[in-house]
Each structure stands twice: as structure tokens, then as C-alpha cells.
Amino acid sequence: MRIIVGLIFLMQFLGAGYGQISDQIKERVDAEYNDFPDIEHFGAKLNHDFFSKYDKVGAIYYWICKNVDYDTKSHFSKKGGYTYDFRYKTREEKVEKIQEIDNKMALDAFKSKKAEGKVYAHLFKKMCDNAGVECEVISGVLKSKYTDIGKKPGRSNHMWNAVKINDKWHLVDASMGAGFLSELDQVFVKEYSETFFLMEPKAFSLTHYPKRDQWLFCDTTPEEFESLPLLHYRYFRFKVGLTSPLNGIITSLDKDYLTIQFKEKEKINFQDLMGFSYGIEKEDQLAKIVPIKKGNILTLKIPVKDIKYDYLTIFFKAQPLVSYRIKISNNIN
């Protein structure tokens, strides 16, 4: 019951629970923050132009998301990006060398305007440091792939930030605010979003789980995180919230159909109702499906015979919303 009650939050937070950056800040950043030789000069202007930490953090987030592209070459390279490969004799020397590498990541990213996930986090921290805003880099697990469904949070695969504003910690992921990574096509789709700017911790924990619980800021357990379906980037910008199934692994079916339900947070018109489809892993084509609408509940009934592989994804206008793992012995090849 604890897990189910916690997951009901999936349909309750959407449409609220994250910060907003004013148009005035964004317009000023676009107009005046285009040419700086280094982070120090950027920070000096930022401290001159903005007084509140909220505004400074908003300006930094917006600038990074709009100006720094995801380094897909490093991400998909066998060598990867930056590594902590060095020798040391003392703990102090180890910490110093790590800080040197982290600092180099941030400076290189500011200059080249390219970064991977962890580099976004180090750049964000470096820019906050120069603006006088307390900031930490958080290491943990990002649920972003089919194979993450049903997997306990273990080895870290992502980094994000926590910033302190008015004596309260807030969560930020600038890499996800810049867009999303298509692993299949090996491209990064630039799409600015403020969803992951000062996002409410419970909502943040639907996709992010920190290595250290002190940076969770909510009561989500590792078991809850493990049980979640995969919520894709576009889900957080959609007009509906998932109501069922709330478990990411489907082990039983209702007669001849798998039933998936969403709850409207905003009114969806008839034309948009025609935009739903579903896909089975490795199949080239999506199958159109029209939801049954009753009040503000949308019900998708997917034929069992079409479930042939391990993963099922619900799409809206060809963009993935939510994915499940199907684990029924007589339905798996």
C-alpha cells in the first residue's frame, strides 16, 4: 500500500511543482549575455544585473540550456568524456585532483558550449559559485532507458544539482532542461524546458534517485523508484497524468486487453485524442489507438495479441510518454 499511495503522486503533481523564470530575465540574457571570455566575467555581470539568488539561478539555468549543446560525440564514444584516472597518495591529494578535473570540465564547457550530462552539472555549479549561490553536484541514477524499469537504483549514471535559495535546497537538472537524448538515433534534440528547474522533490524522484539520501528531500524509497514505469521527457510537458498501471512491470492482464489510464490536467480536444499510439520494442511501426474518454479519464485498451516483446511504450503524436516492461511468460518470445 505504501508504494501504491506514493505513486499516485504521478497524476497529482503535473502542471505545478517547478520554478518559473521570468520573461524579463530571459530577454535580458538573450540580449546581453552572448560574449564573455570566461565564467568570472559572466558572474561579474550577473551579480551587477540581478540581486536575488532566485533570479541569478534562473539566468544561469536559462543561459546553459539555451547556449550549451549536448556533446553527443563524447557520449557515444567508446572512450567517453572526462574520467577520473589519476594516482594519489593522500585523501587531500585525491580531492584536489578531482576538483581540478571538475573545474576543467566546467571551463571547457563554457568555452566550447558543449557538455555531457555530468558536465552540465559541473558547469552549473561553477557558474553558481561565481554568482555567490551555494550549489552542490548530486550523483545518482537517472531512469531513462527501457532496461531501467524494475532496476534498483545502484551505480550512478547521471549528475544534477541542488541550489540553496532562501535557506532551502532546490533541485535542478540543466541537461534535461536543454532537451533530450535519442539513444536510438544518437542525436540530441534541443528543446528548452523549465520543468526541471527547481522541480518539486517528489516529482523529481520519478526519474532521479540520488546516491546519498540527504539529497532526496522527500520520502520516495528505492523500492518505489524501482517499481516506476519509465516516464519519458515529453510526459512531463503533457496535459495528462498517469493513473494506472502505476507499476512499471506488467505481470498480469485483464482478459484480452492491457488497460492504461490517464487523467486530464488540461482539456484535450477531439483532434488531440487522435494522436495516441503504442509501440512494441523493435517493431518499426506504431499502432494507432483512440482512447475512451469518460469525464477527465482517458482509457487506452491495448489488444493482448499485439504484445510480443518485453517493452511497451505509449506515444502521443509520435513522441514517447511512458514505457512498461511486459513480463508474462506466455507473451514473451
Please give the chain's pLDDT, 333 residues, in tens.
455 445 555 444 444 456 799 999 999 999 999 989 999 999 999 999 999 999 999 999 999 999 999 888 877 776 666 677 767 778 887 888 888 888 898 999 999 999 988 999 999 999 999 999 999 999 999 999 999 999 999 999 999 999 999 999 999 999 999 998 876 677 888 999 999 999 999 999 999 999 999 999 999 999 999 999 999 998 988 888 899 999 999 887 767 788 999 998 888 887 888 999 999 876 668 999 999 999 999 999 998 766 766 799 999 988 899 999 988 765 444
Smallest Cα–Cα separation from 38: which of 95, 90, 107?
Answer: 107
pTM of the model: 0.89
Predicted pLDDT of residue 116:
85
Q: Which class would CATH give 237-331?
A: mainly beta
Q: Is 108 helix (H, G, I), strand (E, B) or coil?
A: helix
Is residue 205 a contact partner of residue 219, using CB atoms and an 8 Å limit? no
Ranges of CATH 3.10.620 domains, the chain: 2-228
Annotation: CATH topology of 2-228: C8orf32 fold (3.10.620)
Predicted pLDDT of residue 331:
45
β strands within 173-283, DSSP E: 179-182, 187-190, 197-199, 208-210, 230-231, 240-244, 249-250, 257-264, 276-280
CA–CA gap between residue 67 and residue 42 (Å, rounded)? 13
Q: What are 119's three cell numbers?
A: 558536465
Is residue 18 a contact partner of residue 199, using CB atoms and an 8 Å limit? yes
Is residue 146 a contact partner of residue 309, using CB atoms and an 8 Å limit? no
CA–CA gap between residue 263 and residue 223 (Å, rounded)? 25
Ranges of CATH 2.60.40.10 domains, the chain: 237-331
CA–CA gap between residue 206 and residue 220 (Å, rounded)? 9
Q: What is the DSSP letter of 290?
A: P
Neighbours of 187 (CB within 10 A): 14
